[in-house]
Chains A and B, each alone.
Chain A
Amino acid sequence: MKLIRLAIKQLRSRWLNSFLSIILLAFGVGIILLMTRFNEQYKAQMTNNLNGVDMVAGAKGSPLQLILSALFHADLPTGNVSLEDARKLIKHPFVKEGLTLSYGDNYEGFRIVGTEHAYIEWLKGNLKEGQLWNGKMEAVVGAELASIKNLNVGDEIVSAHGLVAGGDVHNENPYRITGILEANGSVLDRLILTATESIWAAHEGHDHAVEEEVTAVLVRFRSPVGFIQLPQFVSKQTNMQAALPKIELAQLYESLGVGIQTINGIAWLIMLVSGLSVFVSLYLSFKERKKELAFMRVFGASRTQMTVLVLLQSVFIAIIGFLLGMIFAVIGSNILTKLISERFPVHLNWFSFGRMELGIFFAVLLIALFAAILPAIQAFRVNISNTLRNA
Chain B
Amino acid sequence: MLSTKGLEFSYTNGDAMVFPDIHLESKSNLLVLGPSGCGKTTLLHLICGFLNPQKGSIHINNENFGALSVSKKDAFRGKHIGVVFQQAKHFSGMNCLEHLEYASYFSGRKNKSDENRQLLNQLGLEASLKQQASSLSQGQLQRLNIAMALINKPLLILADEPTAALDDTNCERVIELLKEQAQATEAALLIITHDQRLKSQFQNQLSL
Contact = CB atoms under 8 A, between A and B. Distances in A.
B87 interface: yes
Q: What interface size band does chain A fall in? A: 20 to 34
A300 B89 CA distance: 16
A307 to B, nearest CB: 12
B106 A10 contact: no
A212 interface: no
A303 B70 contact: yes
A298 B157 CA distance: 12
Contact of B48 (A9, A288, A298, A305): A298
A12 B94 CA distance: 11
A391 B87 contact: yes
B60 interface: no
A6 B93 CA distance: 9
Interface stretch (A82-90, A183-191, A381-389): A381-389
A10 B92 contact: yes
Interface in A69-125: none
Contact of A303 (B51, B71, B102): B71
Nearest to B71: A302
Contact of A2 (B48, B89, B102): B102
Contacts of A129: none
A389 to B, nearest CB: 6
A384 B52 CA distance: 12
Interface in A258-317: 288, 291-292, 295-305
B50 interface: yes
B49 to A, nearest CB: 9
Given A2-B105, A300-B75, A302-B75, A295 B93 contact: no
B94 A389 contact: no
Contact of B78 (A10, A295, A300): A300
B108 interface: yes
A164 B143 CA distance: 80
A301 B93 contact: no
A299 B152 contact: yes
A301 B78 contact: yes
Given A300-B79, A301-B106, A303-B74, A9 B92 contact: yes
Contacts, number: 70
Interface in B9-25: none
A13 interface: yes
Contacts of A9: 91-94
A287 to B, nearest CB: 13
Nearest to B52: A385
A302 B108 CA distance: 10
A190 B20 CA distance: 95
Interface in B77-122: 77-79, 83, 85, 87, 89, 91-94, 101-103, 105-108
Nearest to A389: B41
Nearest to B134: A13
Contact of B93 (A12, A299, A305, A389): A12
A302 B91 contact: no
A271 B109 CA distance: 41
B106 A391 contact: no
A295 B74 contact: no
B51 A296 contact: no
Contacts of A303: 70-71, 74
Contacts of B87: 391
Given A2-B105, A302-B75, A389-B41, A296 B50 contact: no
Contact of B107 (A12, A291, A299): A299
Contact of A300 (B50, B92, B101, B106): B106
A291 B152 CA distance: 21
A6 B94 CA distance: 9
Nearest to A297: B74
A37 B151 CA distance: 55
A19 to B, nearest CB: 15
Given A2-B102, A297-B106, A301-B106, 5 more contacts: A2-B101, A10-B92, A299-B77, A299-B148, A385-B51
Q: Which 7 A-B pairs have the closest CB atoms?
A: A300-B78, A301-B106, A385-B50, A299-B106, A300-B107, A13-B93, A13-B92
27 contacts: A6-B102, A9-B93, A12-B93, A13-B92, A13-B93, A296-B91, A296-B102, A298-B48, A299-B78, A299-B103, A299-B107, A300-B74, A300-B75, A300-B77, A300-B79, A300-B108, A300-B152, A301-B74, A301-B78, A301-B106, A302-B71, A305-B106, A384-B50, A385-B50, A388-B45, A389-B41, A391-B89
